[in-house]
Amino acid sequence: MKGIFKVAIIGLIILLFIFYTIIPTVLIRKKSIGITKRLLEQKTLSLTFDDGPDPIYTIQLLDLLKKYGVKATFFVVGHKVERHPEIIERMHKEGHTIGIHHYQHVSSWFLTPFALKKQLIKTEKAIRECIKEDVIFYRPPWGHFNVFTLLLSRKYQIIMWSDIFSDWKVHKVKGSLLERLRATNDSGSVLLLHDSGDTFGADIEAPRYMLESLEVYLKESKQRGLTFTSLHEAYQNRHIKRVI
Ligand SMILES: [Zn+2]
């Protein structure tokens, strides 16, 4: 009898966890509820970079974007912002958009509503202190939502992606990143890349190789006449529309 009770409790906990995490994530992403995956633009793409700022790779990336005159968007981790405010100030000065990617790189699946709110508020505060402007955009780490995410982040535009490349793994970057970048649809695609390799499961040196492929891609894209927009520019031009 005691054994059955234990199994029932474990079963109930698993069920509650699924309802708190996996079901909202699948529903929101499949049905595009309250999120943006693509922009309403032709011949224009949006480059987005997650998990920074990184004192080495983000600087190299900013130099590269400057060289090709490209404006991008960075979804940054709050505690890294506090460590490297000068990088955020540079991003802002050079016309890039900065959005929230939680204070620690933690999945919403393991956050209570209160803890999730705290992640958002602390990161917004850290960014705000650097850019002295409102923070508009949010991308949840790992693309994970819990039941409360849409409610708690309603003041932000949630930006997901249309293209993801596993660029956090060196062998994937070396093997296929450039080909996959070249194959991207140029009508409003939102590309997700990473300018830091210290996230759990990533290779620390992956951004180094990502930057090599990105440079070739940017060079070719400019020759093809493609344009890259930051999310802030797209938002001002009303090319981002909330689905709900
Ligand atoms: Zn991330």
pLDDT at 10 over 50: yes
Written as six digits, the tokens of 143 are 């693309």
CA of 205 to the centre of ligand 1 (A): 16
Backbone angles phi, psi at 224, to 5 degrees: -80, -5
- Structure-model confidence comparison of residues 60 and 242, the more confident one: 60
- Topology of the domain covering 2-236: TIM Barrel (3.20.20)
CA of 5 to the centre of ligand 1 (A): 39
Average pLDDT value for residue range 161-173: 96
Express each pLDDT in 94-110 by its tens digit: 999 999 999 999 999 99
Average pLDDT value for residue range 230-244: 76
For ion ligand 1, residues whose CB falls within 5 Å? 50-51, 141
Beta bridge partners of 157: 137
% of the chain surpassing 70 pLDDT: 98
Backbone angles phi, psi at 75, to 5 degrees: -100, 110
CA of 40 to the centre of ligand 1 (A): 24
* Band of pLDDT at residue 214, cut at 50, 70 and 90: very high
Q: What's the pLDDT score for residue 186?
A: 87
DSSP string, 115-161: HHHHHHHHHHHHHHHHH-S---EE--GGG---TTHHHHTTTSEEE--
Question: Cis ω on the peptide bond leading into residue 53 (within 30° of 0)?
Answer: yes
CA of 74 to the centre of ligand 1 (A): 11
Express each pLDDT in 169-186 by its tens digit: 999 999 999 999 999 998
Express each pLDDT in 22-61 by its tens digit: 999 999 999 999 999 999 888 899 999 999 999 999 999 9
- Determine if the pTM surpasses 0.85: yes
pLDDT at 243 over 70: no
Handedness of CA 61, 181, 51, 157 (dihedral sign): positive
Express each pLDDT in 109-151 by its tens digit: 999 999 999 999 999 999 999 999 999 999 999 999 999 999 9
Q: What's the pLDDT score for residue 226?
A: 93
Report the catalytic residues.
50, 194
Which residues have C-beta within 8 Å of that of residue 224, sequence separation ≥ 6? none
Domain boundaries, the chain: 2-236
* Band of pLDDT at residue 241, cut at 50, 70 and 90: low
Nearest to 194 by CA among 53, 36, 45: 53
- CA 240, CA 32: separation in Å to the nearest integer? 13
State the Cα angle at 25 between 73 and 122, rounded to 5°: 50
pLDDT at 238 over 60: yes
